[in-house]
Chains A and B, each alone.
Chain A
Amino acid sequence: MTTDTHTITPTSDPVRSPRRRAGESAQIVVFGTVAWLGYVWLAATIVYAIVLACVVRWGSLDTSLWRPLASGWQQYVVLAAGVTVSTTFLRMLVRNGATRRMLSIAATVTMSAIAAALAIWNMAGFAIEKVVYDANDWPQTLPTDAVIGWNDLPRIALDNALVVAVYYSTGWIIGCCYTRWGALAGTALLLPAVVPAAAMEFLVTPGFAGVNIDVIASWRPHPHPVVTIVAGGALLAASVYVAHRLTRGAPVR
């Protein structure tokens, strides 16, 4: 065996301190998630734009198209994104020397970024649709028979942000349960794992986000924004805490 010698100078690189690596971890998880979620949002926007353009050209409407075509199912995609915290990023980061705590912080940052982005995207979708509907004198009605007004848009953003965030954390919890305890126990824990997502749907305005079942959405009360913010915020914090705790003990398989 021949041996070449190479000069390698050990360095202590201050830019790769734990804090710096936590930041790098967050970037990896945010971009790694948005990289594919972005395509979903783009596809939904394009499909919606095409359908809306066809309707404007050849027909008429009295219900929101944005809600069923683009907005109403995003939380389920985000749920899948939450699952990837343990199925993809746990291995990717820990194998490269990051701690599970760094991963949890990165996932929390990702959750916040996705929730904010989808809140803006949803609000913008409803707003653009409202402009089009108003121009054609169509009512922008939801499945709950509510007609969306301009002053509803901030509440739409708030509700969507909370629902999207809690769905992400729910997916994160589900993934951790499977990673820690295997397929059988993971499946058995599905029901308790989705409790935060189900509970959040009852803390937001019917029709704006969450519950898609008309019969439920039509009879339940509209919570006051303060109740939504306080109770929804507490629920989200609790689910994120559970996800953090589960991540800390998750093995890299």
Chain B
Amino acid sequence: MSSSTSLTEPTPGGHALELRDVTVRFGSTLAVDAVTTTIPAGAIVGLLGRNGAGKSTLLRTLAAHRRPSDGTVRVAGEDPYEHERLMADLCLVRHDGDFNLDVSVADSIAIAAALRPHWDGATLDRLMERFRLQSNRTKVGALSLGQRAALAVSIGIATRSPVTMFDEPHLGLDAPSRYAFYDELLATYIAMPRTIIVSTHLIDEVASLLEHVLIIDRGALLVHEPADELRTRGLELTGPSAAVDEITGGMAVLSSRTLGPTTSAVVFGEDHGDLQDRAAAAGVEVGPIPLQDLFVAMTSQESVR
């Protein structure tokens, strides 16, 4: 791959992936609603959303598995759909591997090895051993769901694709396998940085890996921010109900729970100003909120108060 086309190098716009008003419809169903965002080259991005939020459709559109109904997708500044080089550089791993179940494990690997330009057989061998898989004539359909998922993520990592996307890889993987996957993902990323997008529900498990977070709900992009910034924007206030209500007045409150005289509210904003001082004066505790809780608060409400 020449340096001028490498996705691990910043494109002229400084981003590896660019979406402009990307919309996907299935008949009357709006799966992705005018998503506009940019994803920097070489970042590990978390794509978070509830079931049916449009994550898989968005990833399939990014991977050029389908065209958007409206809008444009650009990878390294070019349309990836039917682009010989870019399509080879985009790898989407679905949780079940999306394998042909009648094809053997060995042939499934051979097909990926034949078609992926950056294929790394040594990495695949190591991952197969770590996940206790064997490259043999066993049909993929005879594997358990967990083995199939492990095979899928192994192949996905071994492709060394400049843009590698994992669509809910946690489904089917047991806890040891998931942590092995996170380890290997990080290890290969350190060895060869690339753009990685992980769609998941188990946010706490991957939170430490993520540099950027996209939150999508009902097809629309709610948030796209660096993970560290996002963490600072969400705060939980706990204290006397009247005091909490007064302090959060005029702020974006994502969720609020009241138990007797005590209220706990999650607020979200760019600049919390003198919130800490006012809270301390009113006897209200202020604490950070885990990414998982922030995600739940943002996507479980009808609208922000």
Please give the residue numbers on chain A whose beta carbons come within 8 Å of chain B beta carbons, in ascending order.
1-8, 10-13, 16-18, 21, 24-25, 27-28, 88, 91-102, 248-249, 251-252
Interface status of B55 (Cβ within 8 A of chain A): no
User: Is there an interface contact between B160 and A1, defined as CB atoms closer than 8 Å?
Assistant: no
- Which B residues contact A (CB, under 8 angstroms)? 1, 60, 64-67, 82-85, 87-92, 98, 100, 103, 111-112, 114-120, 123, 126, 159-161, 179, 182-183, 186-188, 190-192, 208
Query: Which B residues are CB-close (under 8 A) to A100?
Result: 82
Cα A51 to Cα B172 with chains together (Å): 51
Nearest-neighbour CB distance to chain B for A203, whole angstroms, equals 33
A6-B123, A16-B117, A24-B114 as given contacts; A94 in contact with B65, CB under 8 Å: yes
Say whether, besides A96-B112, A100-B82, A249-B67, A3 and B89 are in contact (CB < 8 Å): no
CA–CA, A238 to B244, complex, Å?
Answer: 72
Q: Is the CB of A7 within 8 A of B191?
A: yes
Which of A11, A16, A99 lies in contact with B87, CB distance below 8 A? A99
Q: Is the CB of B60 within 8 A of A97?
A: no
Distance (whole angstroms) from the CB of A132 to the closest CB of chain B: 38
Least Cβ–Cβ distance between B250 and chain A, in angstroms: 40
A253 to chain B, nearest CB (A): 8
Instruction: Say whether B191 contacts A97, CB under 8 Å.
Output: no
Instruction: Evaluate contact between A18 and B115: CB separation under 8 angstroms.
Output: no
Closest B residue by C-beta to A15: B117
Which one of A5, A21, A95, A248 contacts B187 once the chains associate, using CB atoms below 8 Å? A5
Q: How far is the CA of A252 from the CA of B82 in the complex (A)?
A: 12
Among B1, B87, B160, find the residue whose CB has the most chain A CB atoms closer than 10 A. B87
Contacts of A98 in B (CB 8 A): 87-88, 115
A18 to B5 alpha-carbon distance, docked (Å):
15
Most buried by B among A7, A13, A99: A99
- Taking a contact as CB atoms under 8 Å apart, the answer to whether B115 and A8 are in contact is no
List, in ascending order, chain A residues with CB within 8 A of B83's CB.
99
Q: Decide: A97 and B65 in contact? CB cutoff 8 A.
A: no
- Among residues of A, the one whose C-beta sits closest to the C-beta of B209 is A1
Note all chain B residues with C-beta closer than 8 A to A13: 117-119
Q: Are B66 and A251 in contact (CB under 8 A)?
A: yes
Q: How far is the CB of B297 from chain A (nearest CB, A)?
A: 25
Q: A104 → chain B, closest Cβ, in Å?
A: 11
Contact across chains for A97 and B161 when beta carbons are under 8 A apart: yes
Chain B residues, CB < 8 A from A24: 114-115
Do B115 and A25 have beta carbons less than 8 Å apart? yes
Q: A28-B114, A95-B65, A97-B91 are in contact. List 6 more A-B contacts (CB 8 A).
A: A3-B190, A18-B85, A88-B100, A95-B98, A99-B82, A99-B84
Report which residue of A1, A10, A88 has the largest number of chain B beta carbons within 10 angstroms of its beta carbon: A10
Give A252 to B81 CA distance when docked, in angstroms.
Answer: 12
Chain B residues near A27: list those with CB within 8 A: 114
Q: In the complex, A25→B66 CA distance in Å?
A: 20
- How far, in Å, is B289 (CB) from chain A's closest CB? 21
